[in-house]
Amino acid sequence: MKEFSVVGKRLQRYDAKEKVTGQEIYICDFKLPRMLYGKILRSPYPHANILSIDVHNAEKIRGVKAVITAKDVPSSKFGFIPSQADKNILCHDKVRFVGDEVACVAAIDEETAQEALRSIIVEYQELPYVIDTKEALSKDAPKIHNPESNLAFEVHHRFGDTEKAFQESEYIFEDTFITSKVAHCCLETRGCIADYSKGRVTIWSPSQSPHTLRQELARVLGISQQKVRVINLSVGGGFGSRLVMDMKEPLAAILSQKTGRPVKIINTRKEEFSTAKARYPFIITLKSGVNKQGKILAREIEIVGDNGAYNDKGPVIFNTAANFASILYGVPNIKFDGFLVYTNKEPGTAFRGFGNPQIHFAIESQMDMIAEKLGADPMELRLQNANQPGDIAASGAEITSCGLEECLMKAADAAGWSYSHKTHANRGMGMAAMVHGGGSMRAYGFSANDAFIKISEDGMVTVISSAVDVGQGSETVVAQIVAEELGVKYEDVLILGNDTDLVPFDLGCFGSRSTFVCGNAALDAARNAKKEVMAVAAEMLEANPNDLIAAEGKIFVIGSPDKSVSFPDAVNFSIKQRGKPISGKGRFFDPIAKDMPQLPFGKRASTFTFASQVAEVEVDIHTGQVEIIKLVAAHDCGTPINPMAAEGQIEGALCQGIGYSLMEELKYGGAEISNPNFSDYKIPTSVDMPPIRTFLVKTAELDGPFGAKGLGEPGLVPTAPAIANAIYNAVGVRIKELPITPEKILNALKEKGLS
Amino acid sequence: MKNFEYHHPRSLNESISLLMHYGDKAKVLAGGTDLLVRMKREELFVPHLINLKKIPELNFIRYDHEAGLSIGSATVLSTLASSRMLSDKYPLLVESIKTIASPQIQNMATIGGNLCNASPAADMASPLIALRAEIKIAGTWGEKFLALEEFFVGPGKTILKTGDILVEIRIPKVTDSTKAVYLKHGVRKAMEIAIVCVSVALDIDPKSYICNQARIVMGAVAPTPIRSPGAESILIGHKIDENLKKAAAEAAANDACPISDVRGSKSYRLEILKFLVQKGISEILHSVRQDT
């Protein structure tokens, strides 16, 4: 493989120092002159008619500048998918979950705004409510939107013939798995500042997709997109929670328009936990047919998903789950039925993994059950079924690069994989594999991104890139890609990209796509800028441009490194001597995306990443407590641009994966979330983290920038089933419901007479 | 959070008069790691906060060979945990402090605050009761001593009346033959509120293994931290063996009346309680055997 001088290096992230030392400015620090503070009055009831709202007393409070209710805002409905829009900016006649937006206030400070909320009198008529999906589907259930049914959406896919395949199967497995509703737990709660002035609204927001936010806000306010400008602030945690607008942006915009002053609205931690949307909980019934040799012939999946009170990304998440369920182990016959059900609860949204951690919990837990039935080592069964480069899945997905086999072997090897020979009582190992997207996402029918590069007279490179850095390091990665291509130092590359007035359109940071999509666009721009530099360097060196190489700030003739010119000198020469400033425009364009409607379903993702994780656990049979002894994660991410950042992505995801496996859950006491704070909603602390080993299994992804693929999400996709399998191996109880709490384990042990 | 007025009296008397003056509009601030969180969540509105941390009379650690240990109520937990004397003579207290939340919170929270917050799961309550702690309360009416176990009334409630302040915690000298353990069960290893916690203090004759004195104190299984009279009487005067441990655990469960809540169900709490009582007794026995 070619030696790179910047790509593949463990370089410190450009924003590391500011973040670690607390210098970075986040939305909670950010103030504008004359700024007001907005607060939202939220429904205390899960389901009720609004009979009247009296804001008279609130308006009279000194320092209150505006109070708005449904009659003051456009009556348009919002939804991530416009055809499924079902949410008013402020509730008109009905509230549908505890936390639904009823009124909004702008005041000179938070205390005054809070006081104004307490002075608003709302008369409600309580309605029967439903929080359980199965109940919500019953005929007599209270109806949340549609008077006919609470079914919000259904998704069906058929690849191959599962019925025939089941007839040919030696064994059939059918199990139901339940996954939990978990919160993103961003350290920064969600918020925005809106400034409506000179006929335009500017939004400062820690968004994951500023251009989408711009479209969404324009849509719901009924104004043209050019009247909306989104300036992205440092994002204090994304994980999918900042992909879809919530009502703060339109509310702040309307309040700003009304008062003529900027308005900031930020969630309290309780609001964040109870209204900022969460991972969709799934009830998954998984039926698999396996032949004598251990080949999986068919998979039938039925998912009942809890939509919560309003639509968001649910249908897209179902489709993602369906696609990956057809890819892992290349099962030729797939039947997928997904039902998304309205309940009177906080809605769901995107969350790292996008439906994939849920479906992997089911598939990879059952994989171990299959192995046990066949008397096979779970590792061998996975190796036997592992995807290979060049495979085409039942959904039509084409596997390009694939390092699954190597991931399985590497993780097992490093963990000292021993499934049948136990070293300690109540200790065991478990493994799980995964597939996820890591390239271009074509579900929108387009997938493209532009980038621009300008090079200053002193050789400094500025990249205008749409890559949204949500803490994962995408700007650092883009800088490394550009520096490598131009042959300059990483420190000499500056990234600009936080303003929709400045940067080209992009779908945003999701789907583990930034490195692939924005990285490719920036690489193309660098190539184009490089052509201009090389032409002038060739002239200066009296050489053929094709014989030149650029590296570490120098351009030299192949074979004679003494014959060189510095990168800044070449740029300077071009500008001053030849009157040609140097710049480059680049584009990532996925030609297949536009044909998506006619193409096989599996083509919706261009590139796939694979991984295998091994967990070793010890279970206390008296308390059900799980101690993770170690976690090993081997991930195929193509050729990593920055291995340190890649490892950081995996480590952070593993931490989230441990929480998802063992402790995290939004609990409902009645219709209200009973743990909307960090003392009762448990996430793992630093002392809960086990020793971790990560391996980057290198594959060459020909379509990726310098061979790279995405890695943002995969880290937590297989963690829960790996831990569940380890618990089974340790003490013989199979827990099919997340989180696997000590209480569930103890109950299962008692049922089996093991505790 | 609503605005409030902050007071920082320099003496015990000054704080008592401030508390009397503001009545139910005032609360004592003794670290704030529970109080300020609740105020921020708007579960509680307190117009006047009276900080006790700057009062020297409330901030001390004293040890006397006869009388034992005396701790000012506003003493910060991390100060206690880093005391060599405490590690040497009352290791149980240091162990239990180290299970509380995080180092950051241990640097702010005080021993008196942990007790006056009156959480049924308070990490300091059961170890102190197990060590027979007494407390000193002061008010306009003067001052008095009482056993710590009489201090708690219910979740978040103590016997303190308006103007009363918990001044001091006294722990008698621990006999050489007394051993104690604190066991806390939660889902994670730090930042955890106990699902169940248990302190076991036993005075066991190293030759006969007969238990001379016993305290079994349980947290998060009743409205207040409570002793288990049943378990204690089963142990006292008897040689401890497997059957006796089990019987003590069953008796402890009988004395407990846990609720089901967001942290755990009633049945799970009772299971864990029984296990922790047995584990506590076993650990002490093990340590007695090692000494002999």
Q: Give the nearest partner residue to A688 out of B102, B189, B193, using CB atoms.
A: B189
pLDDT (average), residues B267-285: 98
pLDDT, mean of each 10-residue run, chain A (755 residues): 87 94 95 98 98 98 98 96 96 97 98 96 98 97 97 97 98 98 97 96 97 97 97 96 96 98 97 98 98 97 98 96 95 97 98 97 98 96 96 95 97 93 87 95 91 96 96 95 97 95 94 94 98 96 95 93 94 96 96 92 94 98 97 96 96 98 96 95 96 96 94 96 98 98 97 90
Work out the average pLDDT over B246-252: 98
- In angstroms, the separation between the Cα of residue A317 and the nearest Cα of chain B is 29
What are the backbone dihedrals phi and psi of residue A729, each rounded to the nearest 5 degrees, phi first? -65, -35
Per-residue tokens: A171: 């064994």
CA A503 to mean position of chain CA atoms = 22
CA distance A230 to chain B (A): 30
Dig out the tokens for A687 from the structure. Answer: 């002392």
Give the integer Cα–Cα distance in Å for B81 and B35.
22
N-to-C CA span, chain B: 57
- What is the Cα–Cα distance from A276 to A566, expressed in whole angstroms? 51
Binary contact (B189, A685; C-beta < 8 A): yes
Q: CB of A106 within 8 Å of any CB in chain B? A: no
Interface of A with B in 598-657 (CB under 8 A): 622-623, 625
**Cβ(A325)–Cβ(A299) below 8 Å:** yes
Residues of A in contact with B263 (CB under 8 A): 680
Task: Point out the residue among B41, B189, B272 whose CB comes nearest to the CB of A687.
Answer: B189
Reference A552, options A540, A564, A536, A567; nearest CA is: A567
Residue A177 neighbours by CB distance under 10 Å = 24
On whether any CB of chain A is under 8 Å from the CB of B2, the answer is yes
Q: Cis peptide before A357, with omega less than 30 degrees from 0? A: no
Q: What is the distance between the alpha carbons of residues A106 and A195, in angstroms, rounded to a whole number?
A: 13
Closest by CA to A459, choosing from A552, A340, A587, is A552
On whether the CB atoms of residues A533 and A486 are closer than 8 A, the answer is yes
**A742 vs B contacts (CB less than 8 Å):** 187, 268
Contacts of B265 in chain A (CB under 8 A): 743
Mutate to test the interface with B, among A626, A672, A688 (most CBs of B within 10 A): A688
SS3 letters for chain B?
Answer: CCCCEEECCCCHHHHHHHHHHHHHHEEEECCCCCHHHHHHCCCCCCCEEEECCCCHHHCCEEEECCCEEEEECCCEHHHHHCCHHHHHHCHHHHHHHHCCCCHHHHCCCEHHHHHHCCCCCCCCHHHHHHCCCEEEEEECCEEEEEEHHHCEEECCEECCCCCCEEEEEEECCCCCCEEEEEEEECCCCCCCCCCEEEEEEEEECCCCCEEEEEEEEEECCCCCCEECHHHHHHHCCCECCHHHHHHHHHHHHHHCCCCCECCECHHHHHHHHHHHHHHHHHHHHHHHHHHC
Q: Does A744 touch chain B (CB under 8 A)?
A: no
CB contact under 8 A, A743 and B193: no
Predicted confidence at residue B1, as pLDDT, reads 81
Q: Residues A301, A339: contact at Cβ < 8 Å?
A: no
ipTM over 0.90: yes
User: Which residue of B100, B191, B193 is the best one to mutate when testing the A interface, meaning the one whose CB has the most A CBs within 10 A?
Assistant: B191
Cβ contact B265–A743 (<8 Å)? yes
Residue A109 distance to chain B (closest CA, Å): 11
* CA dist list (Å): A509 to A80, A130, A468, B211, B285: 16, 34, 6, 65, 58
Q: Is the Cβ pair B41, A685 closer than 8 Å?
A: no
Residue whose entry in the numeric block shows the structure tokens 């039938």:
A300
Please tell me which residue of chain B has the smallest CA distance to A658.
B188
Chain B CB contacts of A746 below 8 Å = 268, 271
Cβ-Cβ pairs closer than 8 A, A with B, add up to 54
The number of C-alpha atoms within 13 Å of A727 and in the hemisphere containing its C-beta is: 32
How far apart CA A226 and CA A205 sit, in angstroms, is 17
Q: A114 and B190 in contact by Cβ < 8 A?
A: no
Q: Is A743 in CB contact (< 8 Å) with chain B?
A: yes
Residue A94 in contact with residue A23, Cβ under 8 Å? no
Interface contact flag, B102 A685, Cβ < 8 Å? yes
List, as own/partner pairs, every contact residues A161-164 make where C-beta atoms lie below 8 angstroms and the sequence separation is at least 24, other chains included.
A161/A333, A162/A289, A162/A298, A162/A299, A162/A300, A162/A333, A162/A334, A162/A335, A164/A333
Contacts of B185 in chain A (CB under 8 A): 623, 625
Shortest alpha-carbon distance between residue A667 and chain B (Å): 7
Short-list B197, B195, B287, B278, CA closest to B234: B278
How far A2 CA sits from the closest chain B CA (Å)?
46
Question: A613-628 burial, b if ≥16 CB within 10 A, otherwise e?
Answer: bbbbbbbbbbbbbbeb
Closest-CA residue of A relative to B189 is: A688
Quick one: angle between helices B242-255 and B266-291, nearest 10? 140
Nearest CA in chain A to B268: A743
Distance, C-alpha A422 to centroid of its chain: 37
A88 vs A255: CA distance, rounded Å: 16
> How confident is residue B267, by pLDDT bands cut at 50, 70 and 90?
very high
Query: Does residue A402 contact residue A638 with C-beta atoms inside 8 Å?
Result: no
Q: What is the mean pLDDT of chain B?
A: 96
Q: What is the pLDDT of residue A422?
A: 73
Identify the three-state secondary structure at position A463. strand
| Residue B84 at interface with chain A, using a CB cutoff of 8 Å | no
Residue A114 to residue B271, Cβ atoms within 8 A: no
Instruction: Tell me, letter by letter, the H, E, C secondary structure of A161-188.
Output: CHHHHHHHCCEEEEEEEECCCCCCCCCC
Nearest-angstrom CA–CA distance, A643 and A467 = 19
- Distance between B228 CA and the closest CA of chain A, angstroms: 21
8 Å CB contact of B262 and A674: yes
Q: Taking the CB of residue A76, how many other CB atoms lie within 10 A of it?
A: 14
Contact between chains at B279 and A677 (C-beta distance less than 8 A): no
B262 closest CB neighbour out of A623, A680, A686: A680
- Could you give the C-alpha distances from A447 to A54, A502, A516, A659, A669, in angstroms and in order? 48, 19, 11, 33, 43
Cα(A493)–Cα(B118) distance, integer angstroms: 57
User: Do A114 and B42 lie within an 8 Å CB cutoff?
Assistant: yes
What gap in Å lies between CA B45 and CA B50, rounded to an integer? 14
Residue A493 · residue A483 · CB < 8 Å: yes
CA dist., res. A705 & res. A516, Å (int): 6
CA-to-CA dists, residue B40 to A106, A190, A667, A733, B46, angstroms: 20, 17, 22, 42, 11
Say whether A629 sits in a helix, a strand or coil. strand
DSSP three-state, residue A217 = helix
**Using CB atoms and an 8 Å cut-off, which of residues 152-211 of chain B contact chain A?**
185, 187-193
For every residue of A475-544, DSSP letters joined together read HHHHHHHHHHHHT--GGGEEEE--BTTTSPP---S-TT-HHHHHHHHHHHHHHHHHHHHHHHHHHHHTS-
SS3 A658: helix
Distance CA A686, CA A411 (A): 23
A256 touches chain B (CB under 8 A): no
Taking the Cβ of residue A659 and every Cβ of chain B, the question of whether any pair is shorter than 8 Å is answered with no
Tokens 């469960």, residue located: B253
Q: Which of B120, B73, B111, B85 is nearest to B273 (CA)?
A: B120
Among A residues 684-713, those touching chain B with beta carbons less than 8 Å apart: 684-688
Q: Which helix (H) or strand (E) holds A306?
A: strand A296-308
Cβ-Cβ contacts under 8 Å for B243 (sequence gap 6 or more): none
Test mutation, A679, A683, A687, A750, chain B, max B CBs within 10 A: A679
Burial class (CB in 10 A: 0-12, 13-18, 19+), A549: middle
* Residue located via tokens 């006294």: B170
Which residue does chain A place closest to B270, by CA atoms? Answer: A623
Asked whether the predicted pLDDT for residue B2 surpasses 90, the reply is no
Mutate which: B262, B269, B275, B281, vs A, most A CBs within 10 A: B262
- CB of B124 within 8 A of CB of B89? no
Facing residues of A176 across strands?
A: A285
| Owner of token pair 């006081």 | A115
Task: Determine contact: A677 vs chain B, CB below 8 A.
Answer: yes
Closest CA to A205 of A184, A221, A218, A188: A188
The two tokens of residue B24 are 């139910």
Query: What does the alpha-carbon distance between residue A216 and residue A244 come to, in Å, rounded to a whole number?
Result: 8
Closest CA to A329 of A289, A292, A282: A289
Q: Are B283 and B199 in contact (CB under 8 A)?
A: no
Which pLDDT belongs to residue B77? Answer: 98
Q: Which of B3, B102, B268 sits opposite A743 (nearest CB)?
A: B268
> Residue B16 — very low, low, confident or very high, per pLDDT cuts 50/70/90?
very high
State pLDDT tens for residues B23-54. 999 999 999 999 999 999 888 999 999 999 99
What is the reported pTM? Answer: 0.97
Given an 8 Å threshold on Cβ–Cβ distance, is A669 in contact with B262?
yes
Q: Which residue of B has its CA nearest to A684?
A: B188
Residues whose CB falls within 8 Å of the CB of residue B78, separated by 6 or more in sequence, listed in order: B97, B103, B106, B107
Mean pLDDT of B86-104: 97
Q: Do A677 and B272 touch (CB under 8 A)?
A: no
Task: Enumerate the residues of chain B whose CB falls inside 8 A of the CB of residue A747.
Answer: 268
Please name the residue of chain B whose CA is at the shortest distance from the CA of residue A673.
B262
